[in-house]
Amino acid sequence: MLNHLRLSVLFAGWVTVTQMAVAQEVVLKFHHIWPTTAMAPTRVIAPWCERIAAESKNRLKCQMLPAMSGGGTPAQLVDRVRDGVDDLVITLPGYTAGRFPAMEVFELPFLTNSAEVAASAAWDYLQKNALKEFPGTKILAVWVHDEGYAHTATKHIKTLDDFKGLKMRAPTRLTNKLLAKLGATPVGMPVPAVADALSKGTIDGFLLPWEVIPGFKLQEMTKFHTETHPSKPAMYSAVFVFAMNQSRYDSLAPDVKAVIDRNSGPLLSKQIGKVWDESQAAGRQSAQTRGNTVWVLSATETEQWMKAAAPLRDEWFDEVGRRGLNGRQLLQDATDLLAKHKK
C-alpha cells in the first residue's frame, strides 16, 4: 500500500512537471511578406528564431508563415499582430497610407543613404515620437531598407524627362507622391504584387532597393536600373517594423520575456540595417549577371531630381500639421538623429 502511494505521488509529480514544461513551450506565429529563399527570411528571420529558441532552451519557437501564407494582405499585418491573429510580423507601416504619420518622416525622399545609420536613428526617433502609433503592439526593431532606386522593363531612365509616360510602382504614399513630382504615373502596391503587375503591363517599372530584386526574381523582368549618385541621399526609403503582439509578450514568463528583450531594441535594429546595406551588392550582381544595364546618375542630374521632389516636404508639413503634428520638428528630430548615428 505504501509503495502504491509513493508511486501515485511520484506519478502525479511527473504529470505536473510535464504539464508545466508543455505550458512553458510557446510557439509564435511569425507572418511576413517574403518567399522563404529571400534575403530577409534567411539572414534576419531564421537566425533570430534560432537565437530565441537556443537561449530559451526551446521554450520559444517560431512557426513560420512566409509569403503571406497565413492569410490577409501585407497592409493588414499591422492589424493582425495588434489583434493577436499573428504573434510576430515584419511589415511596412507605409503599406497603410497615412496611418502612421509620425513614423512616415523616414519615407520623405532624399533623406538618407545608409540603412544601418537610419535604423539606429529610426529606433531613437520611434521612442520619442511614434510609439503611440502602435497600440497593442511591442516593436522589437525598426529600420529602413538599403537605397531605393528606379528599375524599368523597356525604357531606360537617364534623366528626369525620362519619367514622363511611365507607370511606376511605389510602396508608400510618399513614394507615390515622389513619382508624380518626377513626372511618372504612380501605382501603389506592395512588393508581392510587382511581378504580376509587370507581366500584365500594369506598370512599366518600379521603385525598389536592390535587396528585393533577387528574392522575387525581378531582375528577370527588367532590363534597366537607375541609381542616384552615391554622394547624394537615396531617392527614397521605406520603414520596416518587427512587431510582436503586446498581450502575447505580456503573457510570457519573466525569464522568457528576457530572451525577447535581449534580442530586440536598438542593437537588433542596427544589425538588421547593416544586413540590408550588405544586401545591395548581391542584388545588383543578379541584374548585371543577366546582362541588364545599371546606370548611375551624375551628381548634377541627381540634384535635379532632388529639386523636383523638394516641394514634397512642405506639403508633408501641411498634411501632418492638420493632424496636430509639428512636421518641421519631426523632420528635424530625424535629421539630427541621422547625423548623430553617422558619426
Instruction: Please give the residue range of the domain that contains residue 189.
Output: 148-236+286-342
DSSP 3-state assignment of 165? coil
- Pick from 278, 295, 328: which residue ends a domain? 278
Q: Residue 343: pLDDT above 90?
A: no
pLDDT reported for residue 304 = 98
Residue 18 lies in a domain: no
The pLDDT confidence band at residue 4, using thresholds 50, 70 and 90, is low
Q: Residue 182: phi, psi to the nearest 5?
A: -80, -10
21 falls within a domain:
no
* Mean pLDDT confidence for 316-332: 98
Alpha helices in the chain (DSSP H): 2-24, 39-40, 46-55, 77-83, 115-125, 173-182, 194-199, 212-215, 246-250, 254-262, 266-278, 280-290, 299-309, 311-321, 327-342
pLDDT digits (tens, 9 = 90+) for 47-79: 999 999 999 999 999 999 999 999 999 999 999
Would you say residue 16 has pLDDT above 60?
no
Calculated CA dihedral for residues 16, 21, 24, 27, nearest 10 degrees: -130
Residues 96 and 243 in one domain: yes
My answer on whether 111 and 47 are in the same domain is yes
Q: Is 9 part of any domain? A: no
Could you give the percent of the chain with pLDDT greater than 70?
Answer: 93
17 falls within a domain: no
198 and 273: one domain? Answer: no
Which of 278, 306, 333 is a domain's end point? Answer: 278
Q: Are residues 47 and 191 in the same domain?
A: no
- Residues 322, 203: one domain? yes
Q: Do 37 and 169 belong together in one domain?
A: no
Same domain, 168 and 215: yes
Query: Is 124 within the bounds of a domain?
Result: yes
CA distance 33 to 91: 7
Into how many domains does the chain fold?
A: 2
pLDDT at 224 over 50: yes
- β-sheet bridge partners, residue 239: 144
- pLDDT above 50 (res 9): no
Asked if residue 171 and residue 201 are part of one domain, the reply reads yes
CATH number at residue 331: 3.40.190.170
pTM: 0.90
212 and 293 together in one domain: yes
Locate 148 and state its grid cell: 531605393
Q: For the stretch 104-127, what's the b/e string if a residue is b when 16 or more beta carbons lie within 10 angstroms of its beta carbon?
A: bbbbbbbbbbbbbbbbbbbbbbbe
12 assigned to some structural domain: no
Quote the CA–CA distance of 11 and 1 in Å, as a whole number.
Answer: 15
Task: For residue 286, give the nearest of 116, 93, 39 by alpha carbon.
Answer: 39
On the question of pLDDT at 13 being above 70, the answer is no
104 and 185 inside one domain:
no
Is 7 inside any structural domain?
Answer: no
Sheet containing strand 224-227, edge to edge, reads 185-188, 167-170, 205-209, 148-152, 224-227, 293-296
The pLDDT assigned to 24 comes to: 75
pLDDT exceeds 50 at position 15: no
> Which of the four pLDDT bands, split at 50, 70 and 90, describes residue 200?
very high
Q: Say whether both 295 and 189 belong to one domain.
A: yes
Q: Are 156 and 300 part of one and the same domain?
A: yes
